[in-house]
Amino acid sequence: MRAISSLDWRGAGQRPRDLILREASVLDPRAGIDAQHDIVIRDGRIAGLASPGSAELDGAEVIEAGGLTAVPAFFDPHVHLRTPGCEDKEDIETGSRAAAAGGYCGILAMANTQPPVDTAGAIESLRERAADDACVPVGFLATVTRGMKGDELTDMAELVDVGAIGFSDDGLPIRSARVMRRALQYQRMAGAQIALHEEDPELSGAGVMHEGEVSALLGMEGVPSISESTMIARDAALALYEDARIHVQHLSARESIEVVARAKDAGVQITSEATPHHLTLTDEAVRALDSRFKMNPPLRTEDDRQALIDALRSGIVDCIATDHAPHAAEEKEVPFEQAAMGVMGLETAFAVIHTDLIVPGILDLGIVIDRMSAGAIAFGFELPSMSPDSEAHIALLDLDAEWEAGADGWESRSHNSCFAGRKLRGRCQVTIAAGHVAFRQRSFALGVAT
């Protein structure tokens, strides 16, 4: 397991200021911590938890955290930063700032940029830019196939050597089973994770939303659930056969969850993720043909949503990933069929799940906190933890804060949130990545030096 701080970002190699988070309610389900403490952070690590109000450390900045909940900061294994090629939508600085604002201490960027990230040079140049621009640690995936064309594999061993964190043709499935099989053979040798956007293009056709009652009513072409589940079944079988590891991105359908559950039972090395939008919205949201609700995979039915929630609780879905996909207004302000697929997610992920699933008692806060960072494990990183001697990756949450998504603007360069205008409850106030204060809500009082 690698340290999250070993990823590229501005804080790398810099000694952060020591911190005391005073009187925080500390919650870390994996470490079995759920009590009020002072958190002492020295040299970027959690030096210890002291009884509330008692901690002292010369030269430390004190952050008054009474009334706030300190949890392991989040890790998002699925983000689109749009660099290189579409920096008008997002870049490493704005995307990582959006992440920090959402409580994230680490993110992984997908490779479907323009051009796609498929060479050692591209990875090296992204890493250099992240070292200058990223306000939280950022890792970069490379594509599985050259140019994401689906036929020729990239030089996976060389890409891992220069620091690619894993591989994905996300945006597109890997159509050929033969190519997928060879990619898995390399995966086993090179060790880095392969993340899969699972979809059978033949079954998806020209679909723009979930195939079901609502699509029939609207007269829209639909994407059936089996487009996703049949590809997952294929790749799970191949991974088992090749003794390789796969991570399935953005699960959306009950059928897919059943396939993942069976694969886990059969011993396949498979992990999976679900997005906040698939966990909280259904294809009913598409009725008004608002393109903010257009994404791939599409929003599905209430039955699918319930299956996702159950799977997140049981661990069949390992982690929550946003699939943060910034788009320019002109790509979204067109008729539904023509609009670009994808929504932003980093700045609202926790608040949306808190508002729609935790506050009503559907999911336990502890489970959500766990799943918000568990994506780190799937890609070989140490899980953020509140245990003493861990790297200090902490999100300070105000669970009672009420706010309107987007009302104060976005840190992201884009604005295509499907939650914009929603009244949300729960907000990240401060994000600490490896001991550095990576984000502080403007309204949050500044700390006092001791």
Q: Which residues bind Zn ion (CB under 5 A)?
A: 170, 197, 323
**Closest distance to Zn ion from the beta carbon of 326 (Å):** 11
Pick between residue 61 and residue 170 the one whose CB is nearest to Zn ion. 170
Pick between residue 170 and residue 304 the one whose CB is nearest to Zn ion. 170
The rounded Cα 32 to chain-centroid distance in angstroms is 24
DSSP characters for 154-169?
--HHHHHHTT--EEE-
Pick between residue 251 and residue 376 the one whose CB is nearest to Zn ion. 251
**Closest distance to Zn ion from the beta carbon of 341 (Å):** 9
Q: What angle do CA 278, 282, 288 make, to 5 degrees?
A: 125
**Closest distance to Zn ion from the beta carbon of 202 (Å):** 17
**Catalytic position from the list 323, 356, 370, 398:** 323
**Closest distance to Zn ion from the beta carbon of 407 (Å):** 26
**Closest distance to Zn ion from the beta carbon of 75 (Å):** 16
CA dist 130 to 159, 309, 325, 432, Å?
A: 17, 34, 18, 18
Q: Which helix (H) or strand (E) holds 128?
A: helix 120-133
Q: Which residues of 421-433 are buried (b: 16+ CB within 10 A; e: fewer)?
A: ebebbbbbbbbbb
Pick between residue 55 and residue 325 the one whose CB is nearest to Zn ion. 325
Pick between residue 182 and residue 197 the one whose CB is nearest to Zn ion. 197
Are the CB atoms for 105 and 115 separated by under 8 Å?
Answer: no
Q: Which residue is nearest to Zn ion (CB)?
A: 197
**Closest distance to Zn ion from the beta carbon of 261 (Å):** 21
Backbone φ and ψ for 168, nearest 5 degrees, come out as -165, 140
Tally of CB atoms within 10 A around 59: 8
Q: How far apart are CA 357 and CA 437, in angstroms?
A: 28
Catalytic residue status for 323: yes
Are the CB atoms for 407 and 347 separated by under 8 Å?
Answer: no
Nearest alpha-carbon partner for 109 in 148, 76, 69: 76
Q: How far apart are CA 438 and CA 11, in angstroms?
A: 9
Pick between residue 76 and residue 283 the one whose CB is nearest to Zn ion. 76
| Cα atoms in the Cβ-side hemisphere of radius 13 Å centred on 157 | 5
Catalytic residues: 323
